[in-house]
A = this chain, B = another copy of it.
């Protein structure tokens, strides 16, 4: 049995029995098992295959948990509860994914579908909310009472810890930092709005802007790196192009970092958090130098009351934030 001991704070994830934790993405499913002592003892990965329908996705999630259980050397019946971080707005009380364009889901009862297959209680939360929950419990935000997470990737997700607790607002929809207007009349967002943070600094927005410049004649390495189709470039491809000194990518990322800084300053002025945690694909790929540049730009904003002492840090759990948060959700069922 291969046991990958995690460097996480074991206490937050510790509890009675084994936990199944799933990070459900538009492209891939990451499943894991958390042991009673709180360590993540195994992982399994599968493609999501959302194109084959919701039932197939649930079947693949179940399969991924089974594989992770086998890897951990436990019977799947030893799993006492499971948690899922899923994209889009979630009706957490009923475990329903309200709207997930990446999955093509509309009011899909994920909790019940998965609970039937796994034979244990399941809890479902928004993917970024649970990642932020994890950063607060076991990552960069340990002991921080007021924290906002901003997750630029395919979109720009977010989540908030206020007074030490995940904040959901009246309908558990809070945290959509990606749909704050930063540049009225600016580029179109996936939601149809204009100049939203997501339309300015998600990977999708960055890549679209690069493609536009290349179409106009600018020269960039990214076409080659991304295998011909710029729009398919990953965050990792952007990082590679930067390393090669690609001017176009540099310019577009510079603009994105400025807009991200305006978004962070806006959130800080509104909420006066102690810390902003940055995570997600773009941040993981570009790393600390990008976070430091964004921090510099936030500090340059003239209203300094809420930004001068604001801590701006990179996610500590990285790719494990999702499964850690999902495991925390599952532990909460037990409370």
Contacts and interface: CB of A to CB of B under 8 A. Distances in A.
B146 A181 contact: no
A312 to B, nearest CB: 14
How many copies of the polypeptide does the oligomer hold?
2
A186 interface: yes
A192 B99 CA distance: 40
Nearest to A158: B270
Interface string A96-136: 00110000000000000000000000000000000000000
Nearest to A165: B163
Interface string A295-318: 000000111011001000000000
Given A302-B192, A305-B176, A306-B169, A267 B265 contact: no
Interface in A245-290: 258-259, 262-263, 265-267, 269-274
Given A185-B183, A301-B193, A169 B272 contact: yes
Nearest to A255: B184
Nearest to A301: B193
Given A179-B303, A180-B266, A259-B184, A167 B162 contact: yes
A177 interface: yes
A42 to B, nearest CB: 35
Contacts of A305: 89, 98-99, 171, 173, 176
Contacts of A263: 181
Contacts of A244: none
A155 to B, nearest CB: 12
Interface residues of A, number: 51
A176 B303 contact: yes
A335 interface: no
A270 B162 contact: no
A175 interface: yes
B267 A270 contact: yes
Nearest to A188: B302
A256 B302 CA distance: 23
B179 A182 contact: no
Contacts of A224: none
Contact of A193 (B146, B185, B302): B302
A108 B104 CA distance: 57
A169 B271 contact: yes
Interface of A: 89, 98-99, 145-146, 158, 162-163, 167-177, 179-186, 189, 191-193, 195, 258-259, 262-263, 265-267, 269-274, 301-303, 305-306, 309
The 8 closest A-B pairs by CB, nearest first: A169-B272, A192-B302, A180-B266, A174-B272, A176-B269, A170-B274, A179-B269, A173-B272
27 contacts: A89-B305, A145-B170, A146-B170, A158-B270, A162-B167, A169-B273, A169-B306, A170-B274, A171-B309, A173-B272, A173-B306, A175-B270, A177-B270, A179-B266, A180-B270, A181-B182, A181-B183, A181-B263, A181-B266, A184-B186, A184-B258, A184-B259, A191-B302, A191-B303, A192-B303, A193-B301, A267-B270
